[in-house]
Amino acid sequence: MQDKAEISTRNPDDEESARQTEKATGASALRPTRRSFLTQLGVAGLTITAAPLIAQSPAASPPVEAPAETPASAPGAVPVTLNINGKPYQLNLDPRTTVLDTLREHLNMFGTKKGCDHGQCGACTVHINGRRMNSCLTFAVMHQDDKITTIEGLGQNGHLHPVQEAFIQFDGFQCGYCTPGQIMSGAALLKEPVGPNDDDVREMMSGNLCRCGAYDNIVAAVQSARRKG
C-alpha cells in the first residue's frame, strides 16, 4: 500500500493533480520515482557524487515541492482559469509562462515535452480548441476559456485513442520523448484535410521531429489510425 506522496501544494487543484501524478507515476515517500528522487537532491542542494547520499533514506528527504506559484500579490501575476482535459485549473501566473511551462512546472502534467522551446520540434504539441499547436509558443494567460487537451487527456487506461493504439501496434517510438507530441499531432491530423498517401502524412507530420528516426513506423501508425476511421 503506497502512502500519499508528500507534495506540498498551495491550491486544491494542484493537490488534485498531485494525487493524479501519484496515481500515474507511483511516486510516494516510500517508493520515489527517478524524478522525485532527483528533485529531492536538488532541493537538498546535493549532487549525485555527494557521500552522505548513500545514508540518506527517501523518507527522511525533504518533500518534493511543487514549484511556487506566483502569489496573487506579486506584481504582474495574472489570474487565469485554464480548462485542461475537461477540468478547470485556477492559477496566478507570470504572463511570461507558456502553456508548456504551465503544464510541466505548475500542474505536474509532464506528458507534454519540452524539446526546443521555440516551435521548431513539435514535442510540445497540444490541442487548443481542437487544433494542434505548439504549447511553447503561446502564453497561458492568453487562453482563458480555451479548451486545452494534452496527451494525458487523449485516452484513458483501457480505452486508448486509436492513434495511441496504433503507435503501440506499429512500434511508433524508440526513446519516447517525441511521442506525446507525435500522437497529439497524429490525432489532430485525423480531422484535417490531408491527402491519402504516405507522403501526404509525412508532409502533415513534418512539424514533429524524431531524433531516433522512428518516422516510418510513425507514418504507418497514423495511416492505420486513419483507415480505422
Partner 1 sequence: MESFQYEQVKTVDAAVAAHPTQRGGKFVAGGTTLIDLMKLNVETPQVVVDINPLPLNRVESTGDGGVKVGAMVRNSDLANHELIKQRYPVLSQALLSGASPQLRNMATTGGNLLQRTRCYYFRDTAYKACNKRNPGSGCAAMDGFNRIHAILGTSEHCIATHPSDMAVAMMALEAVVHTEGAKGERSIPLDKFYRVPGSTPNIENVLEPNELITFVTLPGLANGTRSYYLKLRDRQSYEFALSSAAVVVKLNGDRIERARVALGGVGTIPWRSREAEQVLEGKPANIETFKRAAQAAVTDAHPLHDNAFKVKLVQLCLARALRVVTQQS
Q: Quick one: 40 or 185, whose CB is closer to partner 1?
A: 185
103 near 138, Cβ under 8 Å? no
Q: Quick one: 44 or 78, whose CB is closer to partner 1?
A: 78
Give me the least distance between CB of 203 and partner 1, in Å please: 6
Give me the least distance between CB of 205 and partner 1, in Å please: 8
Q: Quick one: 39 or 185, whose CB is closer to partner 1?
A: 185
Binding site for partner 1 (CB under 8 A): 76, 78, 94-96, 98, 117-119, 122, 125, 131-134, 137-139, 141-142, 185, 188-189, 192-193, 202-208
Q: Quick one: 58 or 207, whose CB is closer to partner 1?
A: 207
Give me the least distance between CB of 131 and partner 1, in Å please: 4
Question: Using CA of residue 126, residue 212, residue 177, residue 42, what is the dihedral sign?
Answer: negative
How many C-beta atoms lie closer than 10 Å to residue 52's C-beta?
A: 8
Q: Quick one: 28 or 70, whose CB is closer to partner 1?
A: 70
Give me the least distance between CB of 183 and partner 1, in Å please: 13
Give me the least distance between CB of 227 and partner 1, in Å please: 20
Q: Quick one: 132 or 161, whose CB is closer to partner 1?
A: 132
Q: What is the phi-psi region of residue 117: left when phi exceeds 0, alpha when psi lies from -120 to 50, beta otherwise?
A: left
Q: Quick one: 15 or 200, whose CB is closer to partner 1?
A: 200
Give me the least distance between CB of 117 and partner 1, in Å please: 7
**Parallel, antiparallel, or unpaired: how do β-strands 125-128 and 78-84 relate?**
unpaired
Give me the least distance between CB of 223 and partner 1, in Å please: 16
